[in-house]
Structure 1
Amino acid sequence: MAAQFRQSAQQKASSKPGKVPCDVCTGTVLKAQKSCLVCLVSYCEAHLEPHLTMSGLKRHQLIAPMENLESRMCEKHDKLLELFCKNDQMCVCMLCLIEDHKKHDVVPLKEEYKGKKAKLGKTEAEIQQMIQKRRQKIQEIKHSVELSDKNAEREITEGVQVFTALMETVQRNLNKLLDTIKEKQRKTEKQAEGFIEELEQEISELEKSSTEVKQLSGSRDHLHLLQNFTSLNAAPYTKNWTEVRVHPTSYKGTVVRAVSQLEETISEQMKRLYKVELKRVQQYEVDVTLDPDTANPYLILFDDGKQVKYGDAKKNLPDTPERFTKYSIVLSKQSFSSGRFYYEVQVKGKIEWNLGVARGSIDRKGEIALCPQKGLWTICLRNENEYKAGVGPGVRLSLKSGPKKVGVFVDYEEGLVSFYDVDATALIYSFTGCSFTEKLYPYFCPFPNNGGKNSAPLIISPVNQTE
């Protein structure tokens, strides 16, 4: 009974779905233990015994249980597929080797299996590496979002503080303006009240005198009239009001002065903000050097690759596609197609210059229009004091003083190009909403010497962090 129970339990276990069944069992089908590649039959433990004991069957090739053994046989020759043709990349039998693959590179399946398994291992490693890189990219993106959230929170906090301070400043200046106006009005009213009180006092005295004069003039007593005539004949002493005026208070210039003071306060606040902003963008400093292969033949580049000026003679240089030939322009060796970058250029001593960034496909042989539509985002100085931003016909820039060092900041994804007066910590101009699709190159144009007046070089300067 115990033996029957164990056999029944084995039968139930061996009949689970997903297991290879024995092809010989009738009735209750047991799980196969081995499959024979010669017989093309799968055997349970009981039916496998002849292959383990009989000498003729011992030579048969046994493998782990496998379904569809017919698929391991050559459909053409009904022989075991035990070779691999590398030329046709297919499994073949011994007869296929003789008939159809005689001169082909044929190896045993086991040998090809090892090679293919090694390749699969390499592929699996590559896939895992790709998965890992993408997981890292996900973390990078999440980290970027976190940084963006922190930056947004910081900007909101600072923005609220700044605008709250500005609103408080505006309110204080408004209150001060109203107090000034009211104080002037109170002085005028007080002066008028004093004059009115004095006039009313004189009127009271005059009315009293008038009454006495009327009484005396109506008297029939000759002696009484003559005795009092001297004292009542003359009008009482009063002030000469002819030149006395209460002039309406003039408030001319009061509002203008108040707004001017407010403007100074806001200007100081803006200077502080630009100082903070400049300090932030300076963190994206990049090392920029000039590319001699792009330089106009009239330009002189210094050995350090950081300075350029206009020369008196044209150099004999090859007219390569990269070189500017019509205008005195040179680009940097470095290009940027993503992220943010910042660099500074000294323009001290020059009366004409042009700076900014250019896309790689800019025309280097013909006319160049200083505008974003033609691939240029620049500002320039012309005729000593005419500052312009390269927007179509040019936008005049009103600067309190000419910059001696210009900072250039680009945010590729944001579509932003900003120019700063480094010494004054002030924003000169910003191109916003730009759409960049190519590599961007820092752009330099020192302009001709103009009789020596413009001979100073443009100098790419190291960034000194704004305090």
Structure 2
Amino acid sequence: MASANYGPSEDQFLCSICLDVFTDPVTTSCGHNFCMNCINEHWNTSDQNLCPMCKKDFITRPDLRVNTFISEMVVQFRQSAQQKASSSSSEQQESKSGEVPCDVCTGTNVKALKSCLVCLVSYCETHLEPHLTALRLKTHQLMDPVENLEGRMCTKHDKPLELFCKSDQTCVCALCSVLDHKNHDVVPLEEEYEEKKVELKKTEAEIQQMIQKRRVKIQEIKHSVDLSEEDAGREKVEGVQVFTDLMESVGRGLKELLKTIEEKQEATKKQAEAFIRELEEEIFELMKRSAEVEQLSLSEDHLHLLQSSNIHQPPPTKDWTEVSVCPSYEGTVVRAVSQLEETLSKKMKKWCADAELKRVQMFAVDLTLDPETAHPRLILSDDGKQVKLGDVKKNLPNNPERFFNRFCVVTKQSFSSGRFYFEVQVEGKSRWDLGVIRESVNRKELISPSPQTGYWIIWLINGNEYLALDDPPVVLSVTSGPQKVGVFVDYEEGVVSFYDVEAAALIYSFTGCSFTEKLFPFFSPGFNDDGINSAPLIISPVGVN
């Protein structure tokens, strides 16, 4: 390969094979000039000894000699180019740290303007001129300056890496493609470059999307921290309130215990004082009788002594043998602690129930009844929040979603994962059915509702009889009829729970359920019972209890 020294832009000093200034120029018998190494390497890789320019076929390879005339002209050409470069290099911008210097300039490192991928040389503005004016050099591929151009040469064949082997995923030269990578899928670098650029754009888009997702996740985490701080604040307030209430209950219990003991002590003291007064009165009477008896015993009057028979006996007194003042405090503390424990137990159950209800209320959803599923006798409110039983069966299309087997309706919303909660006002009703059903339940035939048939519901009949339609059905013990019923579903855990909202009490839970399809909230207002049960079921907005 010829050297990378350039001067004037005359084309006559360029080898037509390497397109560089001649090195050891030789002339063929057909009159064309080449670098000695270039023409020999060309013939070594070809089956014929053809002139690259005119295609003249030499039967035997010519014995080429260096053309001294052209060689001297090339030397003069190089000197002229160096002088011109030297005179103009001072006017060029000196390369700074991190910038690519011109490979041709000597002395001061002048900033390169372009790098040639064919010559594998970086050029300043002056030395780049031949590539912009010389016809043969205009075909060279220029790019922004880069370092390590030697890395763009094939180390085995000393040829430019201008092809890409898809089979081995490596850059190769023209000789590699016909020798070491024969029958491989080899394409020009430009073609693979464009494909890689498309892939890089896709990768960049994916990375940007990943960045965006992580930024969103950061915002979610920050929002979670904010929510956590709010929750922590609420929990602190509630915790202080709960433990303050506990301490107040304990304080009240202690006060009541002390008061009970003091009252017992006071009663004992009063009883003892009464006994003492009574005893002192008897002592006074006895002392009085004793004085009389003593006086009588000294009398010499026989008749008077015998006539004073009432003095011969002690006065009537109380039998004090079994009388004692012995207050019993045994069990007082135990009873007080037991009563305190009962009080605290009730409070704890209430607090736990409130906390549990608050927890499930966090998963509240907005529901709307679906008129396309309602039994023809049901009447739905315009906003889809209320349902009651009408007297007339409407003429409605018997679409697959509509129930004909019972007076019920489901919501437009369905759920196939996660947790959800809703509340229904049942005030004034003596009958109702509430819960969830799976999407595939039989809506046309009357079947017995149970988890096996796709129903997880509870119902009220006769005004005060509650039943969970489990397998087998479970009679529920409900102390006071709920005015509002909450329904909570955890799809993954397989739980359906019902709550008395105002009492914050759990009514019943279906557990161990296996949900495999969509679940729909289910509502049935029941028979009207001559107007007794005419009130509607109302989907209520959920507020923290």
TM-score bucket (shorter structure) = 0.5 to 0.7
Tell me by how many angstroms 1:347 deviates: 2.1
Deviations 1:235-288 (A, max 9, x none): 45445669x98899999xx969x959x859977x959x95x9989987876432
The 8 Å contact of residues 353 and 447 in structure 1, kept in 2 or not, is answered as yes
Tell me by how many angstroms 1:155 deviates: 1.5
Instruction: Name 1:444's counterpart in structure 2.
Output: 522
Gap regions ≥5 residues in structure 1: 82-88, 94-107
The 8 Å contact of residues 351 and 454 in structure 1, kept in 2 or not, is answered as yes
1-side partners of 2:530 and 2:495: how far apart?
A: 35
Match runs of 1:114-129 below 5 Å: 124-125=204-205, 127-129=207-209
Instruction: Name 2:217's counterpart in structure 1.
Output: 137
CA distance 1:41–1:333, change in 2 (3 Å): same
- TM-score scaled by structure 2? 0.55
1:71 to 161, 167, 176: 161
Instruction: Name 2:534's counterpart in structure 1.
Output: 456
SS in 1 for 2:161: helix
SS in 2 for 1:334: coil
The 8 Å contact of residues 357 and 442 in structure 1, kept in 2 or not, is answered as yes
Tell me by how many angstroms 1:158 deviates: 1.1
2-side partners of 1:73 and 1:30: how far apart?
A: 31
- Structure 1 or 2, whichever has the larger Rg, is 2
Tell me by how many angstroms 1:135 deviates: 0.8
CA distance 1:198–1:74, change in 2 (3 Å): closer
Instruction: Name 2:15's counterpart in structure 1.
Output: none
Tell me by how many angstroms 1:312 deviates: 8.3
Q: Percent identical across equivalent pairs?
A: 44
Match runs of 1:190-339 below 5 Å: 190-199=270-279, 201-203=281-283, 205-206=285-286, 209=289, 213=293, 222-223=300-301, 226-227=304-305, 230=308, 233-235=311-313, 237-238=315-316, 259=339, 286-295=365-374, 300-302=378-380, 304=382, 305=384, 306-309=386-389, 318=398, 320=400, 329-336=408-415
Letter in 2 for 1:159: G
- TM-score scaled by structure 1? 0.62
Letter in 2 for 1:135: R
Greater Cα shift, 344-353 or 298-307: 298-307
1:387 to 447, 458, 466: 466
2-side partners of 1:344 and 1:187: how far apart?
A: 56
2-side partners of 1:247 and 1:308: how far apart?
A: 72
Greater Cα shift, 55-64 or 436-445: 436-445
1-side partners of 2:471 and 2:541: how far apart?
A: 31
Tell me by how many angstroms 1:196 deviates: 4.3
2-side partners of 1:359 and 1:178: how far apart?
A: 60
Instruction: Name 2:450's counterpart in structure 1.
Output: 369
Instruction: Name 1:344's counterpart in structure 2.
Output: 423
Letter in 2 for 1:132: Q
Greater Cα shift, 410-419 or 164-173: 410-419
Gap regions ≥5 residues in structure 2: 1-84, 154-159, 166-171, 178-184
The 8 Å contact of residues 356 and 377 in structure 1, kept in 2 or not, is answered as yes
2-side partners of 1:325 and 1:164: how far apart?
A: 56
Letter in 2 for 1:71: L
The 8 Å contact of residues 33 and 42 in structure 1, kept in 2 or not, is answered as no
RMSD of aligned Cα (Å): 6.1
The 8 Å contact of residues 212 and 232 in structure 1, kept in 2 or not, is answered as no
CA distance 1:59–1:118, change in 2 (3 Å): closer
